[in-house]
């Protein structure tokens, strides 16, 4: 028998290793989500929360919760262009193009407004506590902001004031506005519910229990197929519900510690980003959900933003031992 140092055996092991590396590279290059580039955020520590985009100026806004700041990334130059400091745990960000205004919801319960190319602060609306996700109804010129022990604040974007609330049974996590109607679908994990509000009546009109599944944080709407998509953390699953009555119509395993989910309508896909350190891609065909990719990312990288107009998925990656905080940009393929 030849020893480990035998040149013939070393040649065989070298060839096998090269073949494995080539196969892995091919799989990465041919997968449904391809890592295109990384934009460093600089000296940013701690958790990173949600993202928003200004398409006209090609700016990406990053809620740097642990850093008490919002990073402003120039997507054309692939670099940080500015940073808004002096915030208290910014969580939700949204950009209203018609007003040229960035809205930042923070853990101190404030909604702060920054306007124009230089993002000058122009207003502050105090909501209560733990202001979080923001959604925009451009047609009605309204914003909805989840906050407190259970409410969606309704913000009049023209007057920059709170005009009312939609009361809920617990703190709202992700929620989505129906484009063809007045319904709002809201994850309320403390109540083990998905609650359906009416933004004209300003009240909850339906409550859909989530059963044994819990920690329903991220949500997306697939209105073309009439389905509401919710990622649960316990157990780690992606479930599709009927938008009509809340009945579950499909479910499958997903990556752990999910915090964002998006629909790629062009490809009939669903993307889920998870703090476990993975991006999952699913095909949504024939009413079923089939995972087609389980892409390694980085621990704690659980917030993301899919922008159909740019055909890119932006992933917020917090600083860790090997790398600074950064935005990783993925290009959907085939």
Alpha carbon distance, N-terminus to C-terminus of the chain: 49
Measured distance CA(31)–CA(311) in Å, rounded: 15
Q: What is the pLDDT of residue 24?
A: 42
How sure is the predictor about 299, in pLDDT bands with cuts at 50, 70 and 90?
very high
Range with lowest mean pLDDT among 11-20, 50-59, 92-101: 11-20
Measured distance CA(278)–CA(280) in Å, rounded: 6
pLDDT in tens, 193-247: 999 999 999 999 999 999 999 999 999 999 999 999 999 999 999 999 999 999 9
Q: What is the pLDDT of residue 286?
A: 82
Name the nearest CA neighbour of 248 among 224, 212, 283.
Answer: 212
Q: Tell me the three state secondary structure of residue 294.
A: strand
Name the nearest CA neighbour of 242 among 325, 183, 293, 198.
Answer: 183
Residue 137 has pLDDT above 60, yes or no: yes
pLDDT in tens, 319-329: 988 789 999 99
Determine how many CB atoms are found less than 10 A away from the CB of residue 286: 7
Name the percent of the chain lying above pLDDT 70. 91
Calculate mean pLDDT across residues 6-33.
Answer: 49
φ, ψ at 244 (rounded to 5°): -85, -45
Residue 4 has pLDDT above 60, yes or no: no
| 3-state helix/strand/coil string of 168-192 | CCCCCCCEEECCCCCEEEEEEHHHC
How sure is the predictor about 30, in pLDDT bands with cuts at 50, 70 and 90?
low
Residue 77 has pLDDT above 70, yes or no: yes
**DSSP E strands: which ranges in 189-296?**
193-198, 203-209, 214-222, 227-234, 236-242, 248-253, 258-264, 269-274, 278-283, 290-296
Average pLDDT, the chain: 92
Residue 28 has pLDDT above 60, yes or no: no
What is the DSSP code (8-state) at residue 10? H
Q: What is the pLDDT of residue 22?
A: 37
Residue 174 has pLDDT above 70, yes or no: yes
Check: CB of residue 37 under 8 Å from CB of residue 23. Answer: no
Give every CB contact of residue 327 below 8 A, 6+ residues apart in sequence. 38, 39, 41, 51, 60, 62, 73, 314, 315, 316, 317
Q: What is the pLDDT of residue 180?
A: 87
User: What structural domains does the chain harbor?
Assistant: 37-209 (2.130.10.10), 215-334 (2.130.10.10)
**Residue in this structure with the two tokens 């013939």, named with its chain if needed:** 8
Q: What is the pLDDT of residue 285?
A: 81
**Residue in this structure with the two tokens 């949504």, named with its chain if needed:** 284
Measured distance CA(283)–CA(242) in Å, rounded: 17
Q: Tell me the three state secondary structure of residue 51.
A: strand
pLDDT in tens, 139-165: 999 999 999 999 999 999 999 999 999
pTM of structure: 0.91
Give every CB contact of residue 26 below 8 A, 6+ residues apart in sequence. none
């Amino acid at each position: 028998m030849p020893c480990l140092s035998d040149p013939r055996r070393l040649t065989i092991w070298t060839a096998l290793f090269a073949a494995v590396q080539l196969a892995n590279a091919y799989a990465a290059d041919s997968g449904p989500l391809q890592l295109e580039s990384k934009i460093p955020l600089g000296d940013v520590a701690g958790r990173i929360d949600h993202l928003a985009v200004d398409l006209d100026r090609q700016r990406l806004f990053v809620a740097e919760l642990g850093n008490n700041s919002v990073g402003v990334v120039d997507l054309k130059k692939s670099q940080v262009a500015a940073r808004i400091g002096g915030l208290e745990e910014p969580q939700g960000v949204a950009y209203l193009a018609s007003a040229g205004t960035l809205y930042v919801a923070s853990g101190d319960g404030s909604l702060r407004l920054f306007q124009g190319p230089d993002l000058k602060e122009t207003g502050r609306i105090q909501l209560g506590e733990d202001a979080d996700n923001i959604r925009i109804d451009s047609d009605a010129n309204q914003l909805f902001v989840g906050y407190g022990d259970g409410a969606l604040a309704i913000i009049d974007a023209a007057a920059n004031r709170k005009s009312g609330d939609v009361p809920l049974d617990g703190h709202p996590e992700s929620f989505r506005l129906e484009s063809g109607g007045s319904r709002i679908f809201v994850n309320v994990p403390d109540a083990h519910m998905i609650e359906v509000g009416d933004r004209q009546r300003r009240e909850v009109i339906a409550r859909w229990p989530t059963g044994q599944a819990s920690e329903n944080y991220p949500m997306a709407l697939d209105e073309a197929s009439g389905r509401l998509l919710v990622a649960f953390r316990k157990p780690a699953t992606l479930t599709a519900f009927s938008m009509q009555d809340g009945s579950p119509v499909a479910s499958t395993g997903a990556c752990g510690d999910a915090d964002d989910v998006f629909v790629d309508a062009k490809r009939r896909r669903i993307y889920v980003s998870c703090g476990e350190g993975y991006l999952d891609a699913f095909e949504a065909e024939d009413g079923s959900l089939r995972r087609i990719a389980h892409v390694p990312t980085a621990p704690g990288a659980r917030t993301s933003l899919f922008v159909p107009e740019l055909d890119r998925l932006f992933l917020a990656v917090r600083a860790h031992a090997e790398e600074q905080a950064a935005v990783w940009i993925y290009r959907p393929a085939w």
